[in-house]
Chain A
Amino acid sequence: MLHTITLKQAIDGVKQKKFSLSELHADTLTAAQEAQQNYNIFVSEPRAQEVNNALISTPLAGAPIAVKDNCLTQGQTTTASSKVLESFSPAYSATVVEKIQTAGGVVFGKTNMDAWAHGSSTETSDYGTTKNPRNPAHSPGGSSGGSAAAVAANACIAAIGTETAGSIRLPAAWCGVVGLKPTYGRVSRYGIVAMASSTDSPGSITKTVEDAAIMLTHMAGNDPLDGTTSSQSVPDFTSFLGKNIQGLKIGFMYEDLAGLESILDHYHDVISVLETLGATVKAVSALDPHYAISVYTIIQRGEVSSNLARYDGIRYGHDRSYFGAEAQRRIMLGTYTLSKGYADQYYTLAQKVRTLFRQDFEKLFEEYDVLIAPTTPSFAPKIGIAEGQAMFGELADMLQEPSSLTGLPGINIPCFRDTTTNLFLGLNIIAPLWREDLLLQVADAYEKATEWNSWRSHA
């Protein structure tokens, strides 16, 4: 069945006429409809559509790409999984959507997410939660839970997600798929419902590392509509695949962190593989990520309170009484930490500690090429665990927050599967600013040398 192939296989297959574009879409649609019944993956399901065969000659060859519902799609309802925007149909698309379409990708459904991206389990969605296709009693993670579940369930060939701190990498880890968060400023944020403007990074969730490289090549680039995008040239990121990692120096973070004891063994196995591949791996000490929780909570909620101020129901959407409980909590806390008398002790202080994290990474990267760590402190929890918690999201993302806050690129790849629960653990690889090439190089080498990724091509 064609829906189980990778993006690379889809592009090659269609171009080599191994199968037709309409066959590919039909198979994927069937899978998507079934997955929707089982897992509630989409806010807007993909529709049966006539796919233009002229797309076959494009780089993405008409492949069906699911899009997280915080990315605006022209003429198609975009809700950010919130009731506030339940009938919002924008007259413009996000730049990243336009770029993927220009490259020949076809928007294939809008995926479910934590409402406004506020969360790490997709449970704060106003359209019901999404179930983890690996084990439906468990959470797929969030906030890009729908996109990660879509890929894991083969309900699309690849997906677009966004990460503010962990929202690509965490659901990718829990769903056992690849999630790439590029350097902040590598991909345009224009047309994406803003969460924390200073860390929001659109990225991809894919079946393989190769697919991630393909997606990044077509998503990245300077955008005159987004003043925070870099004018760094965009290479063909697939050129960094298939390289060995001999002599690469890798630092392993958080080995001594309390709470990781139950999963640490699996990362020792990861280290063994990397060493077999020729890299040197050493445990490193890093600034305690518990501080990153505070920094991230304060900065993110402050920027959230500001970015959500425009939703007043006058020009579009419903009024502010339609905000869910989590959105209310975040807007309020954010308003508080920016308010007179408190801004210095919270917001300004958090921005200063952010500098400490930046300096900490700079120091580590003087010695190491990349850093690795567990993506999450645990396997995906059962659905319902986030209920009523004051800050589930920020706590779950603890290990991602340091790199997200400092704009560093990171990738999650599957590195263990529990055979009894079918749940996954992920390996997070972090590189210096603009060094997605290193991420892809290391991730690709690991993926090909291990069996955790069922879609991988063999080395």
Chain B
Amino acid sequence: MKKTNISLQQVQHIAHLANIPVSEAELVRLQSAFDETLDVISNLKELDTTKVTPTHQVTGLENVLREDEVTEKRMFSQQAALANASKTHAGYFVVPQIISQD
């Protein structure tokens, strides 16, 4: 049996975290793709990164902030806000009910 970088169960867990519906067949395909990718990206361990800090942003910008002003012209009307939704009701977006978290 081929040794894999990741188990089916792990792939299932990630699909759940990522909120992606996957079939059994897709799970297996994803596992194989994962394997390949994890093999390729494992080469970073070869480099010495002890003397560097992460680069999260390449711009070097800081403190890009907004004044506390209401910009009326950018606000949607209720109609525009709802225009692309598949289900609406009396000005609200609608989803099937889920168990309340709070």
Contacts and interface: CB of A to CB of B under 8 A. Distances in A.
**A–B direct touch in complex (beta carbons closer than 8 A):** yes
A89 B36 contact: no
Given A224-B66, A317-B84, A391-B36, A184 B59 contact: yes
A354 B55 CA distance: 6
A378 interface: no
Contacts of B47: 291, 353, 356
A339 B76 contact: no
Contacts of A339: 14, 17
B18 A353 contact: no
Given A228-B57, A390-B33, A335 B44 contact: no
A328 B43 contact: no
A331 B30 CA distance: 11
A420 to B, nearest CB: 33
Contacts of A352: 49, 52-55
Nearest to A333: B37
A348 B55 CA distance: 9
Contacts, number: 136
Interface residues of A, number: 58
A184 B57 CA distance: 10
Interface in B25-46: 26, 29-30, 32-37, 40-46
Contact of B83 (A91, A184, A227, A313): A91
A298 B41 contact: yes
Given A91-B80, A294-B40, A316-B84, A332 B11 contact: yes
A184 B18 CA distance: 28
A320 interface: yes
B9 interface: no
B85 interface: yes
A290 B94 CA distance: 47
Contacts of B15: 332
Given A314-B95, A335-B18, A228 B40 contact: no
Contacts of A349: 44-45, 49
21 contacts: A89-B83, A185-B59, A185-B61, A291-B44, A293-B40, A294-B40, A295-B44, A297-B41, A305-B18, A313-B86, A315-B84, A320-B21, A321-B21, A332-B14, A333-B33, A335-B18, A336-B6, A352-B55, A354-B54, A359-B52, A390-B37
Interface of A: 88-91, 184-185, 198-199, 224, 227-228, 230, 290-291, 293-295, 297-298, 305, 309, 312-318, 320-321, 323, 325, 328-329, 331-333, 335-336, 339, 346, 348-356, 358-359, 390-391, 395, 405-407
